[in-house]
Amino acid sequence: MSFRPLFALLLAVIASSTYAAEARPNILLIVADDLGYNDVGFQGARDIPTPHLDRLADSGLRCTDGYVSYPVCSPSRAGFLTGRYQQRFGYEYNPKWDATAATHGLPLSETTIADSLRAAGYSTGAIGKWHLGAHPHFHPNRRGFDDYFGFLGGGHRYLPGSVAEVEIGAGKKATTTADTEQTSPIQRNSTAVPEVGELTTRLGEEAAASVTRHARDAQPWFLYLAFNAPHTPLQARADMLAKFAAITDERRRTYAAMVATVDEAVGRIVTALESTGQRDRTLIFFLSDNGGPMTKRNANASVNSPLRGQKGDVFEGGLRVPFLISWPARLPAGRTYTQPVISLDLLPTALAAAGATRDATLAPLDGVDLLPFLTGQVASAPHARLFWRMDGGEAFAVREGNWKWLRTYQNAPQLYDLSTDLGESRDLAATRPEIAARLAAASAEWNRGLIAPAFGNNPFGGLINRTGLEKNAAP
């Protein structure tokens, strides 16, 4: 018996397997923190040049109507890392900064994007802000990430040894040298490492090093890079501040320097991809975790125009964010995509790109695979409706096509046509009552699939104990 046919078959199988592995893209998810909608060049900013992010936008698609699932940091992250509306598992507030708080974090019952991609053969890493629970069982290394470098809290000072100044609204500042969250250890996996250099710069360097380190790996990789910039405290490198000396407002000048430092870091990472021959086969997502906080606590001099509202609002300024998707080998370049998409779509899109299937016994995803829509294979909208709920039912919003219905706290429901009123200034609830009623009913039906918040955390310190918090309130 000749072994040549068998040997040829074996070579074919090996070649096919190798091709399949190579065809699977690396996946890079980059998240900015509290970035204003109009604070990067590709969104129209004139006072903050962002050439590297603009180049990234040119290499892929800018999603003009890109949303997050919650207008506050931690719940937003819980949503896009699980692909599920976070209210389905009671995640509606920022967790308490307390390593003994065993329920203040991403529930262990939830599966993360890192869990799913690692199961599909990817190496997984996370760099930067975590903010999904300080208790040891919430640690990134225990939530699907092989490697971690960053800090576990919701914020951190940028300059070693500095005083953390946090905006508390209307330009007022709180100054402290004893904020344990702002000065919490930088960790490599579970080991504390020294603070060295400006933080955003260091996170970018770590990400570029990770990209280079994995360039020759046989397996593809997933990297979640979560900057805490431009979240307060407003701190930046001296050389970056000097670049924006023409901005007379001190807060805006520092904010601009922080955004430019994020842009510089993104450029460093893309350069690492290009120099190692990985750029074409790397799927990159870039977005902010929520809108910019312009006047509220932790205000950072951001600008969300032409949108109404800011971080913490269900108006567009709290929910609609800069949103890019780039994959040179598969997706068109230099395009805009105008149908509404949401951060919940990142996980199913990444799994589809990886050729990975999700365990059928897990809870269903709320996001969808965007690839057929972005390539033009499917012309319809990815979502019939998008939904939001805040503070256990104190505020709701729903978008259907160009219609946006919302109810905020004790105010009457409002209705806007975003195609003609992006700034949500002309309430049409009284003149189009049939649409308002339909969307209110849809929101109520969606709400029946949610649960009450599993924990609460007052942003000014301490636990919330408000009447109605425990109720799954209807819109």
**pTM (2 d.p.):** 0.92
Q: Which amino acid, residue 333?
A: A
Report residue 296's pLDDT band, with 50, 70 and 90 as the boundaries. confident
Give the Cα separation of 66 and 347 in Å (integer): 15
Indicate if the pLDDT at residue 3 is higher than 50: no
Catalytic residue, chosen from 131, 156, 214, 383, is 131
Indicate if the pLDDT at residue 361 is higher than 50: yes
Q: What is the mean pLDDT of residues 436-456?
A: 96
Report residue 173's pLDDT band, with 50, 70 and 90 as the boundaries. low
Q: What is the mean pLDDT of residues 63-85?
A: 98
* Nearest CA-CA partner of 293 in 302, 282, 281: 302
Give residue 427's pLDDT: 98
What is the set of domains in the chain, with CATH numbers?
Answer: 24-374 (3.40.720.10), 385-475 (3.30.1120.10)
Report residue 347's pLDDT band, with 50, 70 and 90 as the boundaries. very high
Q: What is the pLDDT of residues 376-430, one digit of tens each?
A: 999 999 999 999 999 999 999 999 999 999 999 989 999 999 999 999 999 999 9
Which parts of 320-432 fold into alpha helices (H)?
346-354, 371-374
Give residue 18's pLDDT: 35
Report residue 166's pLDDT band, with 50, 70 and 90 as the boundaries. low
Catalytic residue, chosen from 73, 139, 214, 383, is 73
Which is more confidently placed, 47 or 458?
A: 47
Give one word for 269, left, alpha or beta, with left for phi > 0 and alpha for psi -120 to 50.
Answer: alpha
Which is more confidently placed, 170 or 306?
A: 306
Q: Is 322 exposed, middle or buried (0-12, 13-18, 19+ CB in 10 A)?
A: buried
Indicate if the pLDDT at residue 233 is higher than 60: yes
Report residue 179's pLDDT band, with 50, 70 and 90 as the boundaries. confident
Identify whether 214 is a catalytic site residue: no
Q: What is the mean pLDDT of residues 228-251?
A: 98
Identify whether 383 is a catalytic site residue: no
Give the Cα separation of 262 and 230 in Å (integer): 8
Query: Are residues 335 and 370 in contact, defined by beta-carbon separation less than 8 angstroms?
Result: no
- Residue for token digits 């009552």? 433
Which is more confidently placed, 166 or 256?
A: 256
